[in-house]
Amino acid sequence: MLDLNLLRSFVVVAERRRLSQAAHVLGLPKSTVSRHVAKLEERTGKLFNRLNDGFDLTPVGQRLYGQTKNAIHELSRELFDPGAAERAQTLRIQAPANYGRGLLNGVIAQYLKKNPYCAIDITLTDRFTSPDLTAVDLGVFVGIAPGKDVEHWPAGFVEAKLYAAPSLFRKARRPKTPGDLKNWPVVTNDCVPGELGRIRLHGAREKRALLGQVRLSSAEPEVLLTAAIAGIGIARLPTFYADAAVAAGTLVAVLPDYAIDRHAVTLGRSRLNKNVAAADFAEFAVATLSR
């Protein structure tokens, strides 16, 4: 009979991919988790490939994970994890609309898949609105520093850059300097349609640039993304909205060495909030976004 503790450590390492994160979830020393995995491998064969960025399952590990994960999750809830009932309550999150739609929704889907007893209620707000942590369990701060009474988890940075469809440059050369931007129509979120726009570029040094005619103005990145792919103009877009289109070849970066905006992203909850799921989700989101 295999020790259930060994299988439980194996499943958590397989899902978190790092011993330190698995140890945190399990509430065990990292050395203990490593020993559990080693003992299990003595019985089953090699379960993980150790890589620079974490642990990846071998074919043997993939089979064992598929055979045991559901049972271990059930048993962990009943036998190992007295906090599971608390995490089963609804987790209320408030996030800026663009960030919530463009990036956080994928994290939420992954978290719910791994935590079948949790439910999430997310509210999307104006980008520059500080989350109301008296009304929710967890807030996403973009470009705003949480207050001193907020427990917080830094989640990196988000940037906006300039993108356009390759078709836009069939008859003329793609802009190579900020001064070239005035020759091209643009779609953006902060200029008046029909007029010439202005933009602040952040590269080796900050520089203001004159844009061409603003063909479309919208606060919704999805609208700007569609217009840019259609060749309407150069678009100002968050990088996480444009990445898939760039990979598909329907958009290219314009002046890629310049950023338009760069904001720190922080997840935070009030120190008075006792919802265990808030901290669990924040740690999962930071780990997922850093991959």
137 CA to centre of own chain: 18
Task: Tell me if 4-81 shares its fold with 86-144+265-289.
Answer: no
- Res 250: pLDDT: 96
Instruction: Supply the DSSP symbol for 100.
Output: I
11 to 20, 48, 57, 74, 254: CA distances (angstroms):
14, 11, 10, 12, 44
* pLDDT at position 184 over 80: yes
Asked whether the beta carbons of 233 and 215 are under 8 A apart, the reply is yes
Q: How many CB atoms are located within 10 Å of the residue 125 CB? A: 16
Overall average pLDDT of the 232-257 stretch: 92
- Residue range 249-259, pLDDT digits in tens: 999 999 988 88
Angle (CA) 49-54-55 rounded to 5° is 35
Please give the Cα distance from 22 to 237 (Å, whole number): 35
Torsion angles phi and psi, residue 191, rounded to 5: -130, 160
Q: Which CATH class is domain 86-144+265-289?
A: alpha beta
Token pair recorded at residue 47? 């379960």
Overall average pLDDT of the 208-220 stretch: 82
Within 8 A by CB and 6+ apart from 137, the residues are 91, 92, 93, 269, 273, 275, 277, 278
Total length of the chain:
291
CATH level 2 (architecture), domain 159-262: 3-Layer(aba) Sandwich (3.40)
Following DSSP, what letter does each residue of 141-185 receive, concatenated?
EESS---TTEEEEEEEEEEEEEEE-GGGGSSSPPP-SGGGGGGS-
> Which of the four CATH numbers 3.40.50.880, 3.40.50.720, 1.10.10.10, 1.10.150.120 does domain 4-81 have?
1.10.10.10
Please tell me which of 102-106, 189-193, 223-227, 257-261 the model is most confident about, judged by mean pLDDT: 223-227
- Residue range 22-77, pLDDT digits in tens: 888 788 888 999 999 999 999 999 999 988 778 889 999 999 998 988 888 777 66
* pLDDT at position 87 over 60: no
Q: Are strands 138-142 and 252-254 parallel, antiparallel or unpaired?
A: unpaired
- Res 80: pLDDT: 54
- Res 129: pLDDT: 74
254 to 153, 160, 165, 251: CA distances (angstroms):
32, 12, 10, 9
Angle (CA) 130-131-137 rounded to 5° is 160
- Helix ranges, the chain (H): 4-16, 19-26, 30-44, 59-75, 84-87, 97-99, 105-114, 221-229, 239-248, 276-289
- Res 38: pLDDT: 93
Closest CA to 35 of 6, 14, 8: 6
- Residue range 90-144, pLDDT digits in tens: 899 999 888 888 778 889 999 988 887 788 999 988 766 789 999 999 999 988 8
Could you tell me the residue ranges of all domains in the chain? 4-81, 86-144+265-289, 159-262
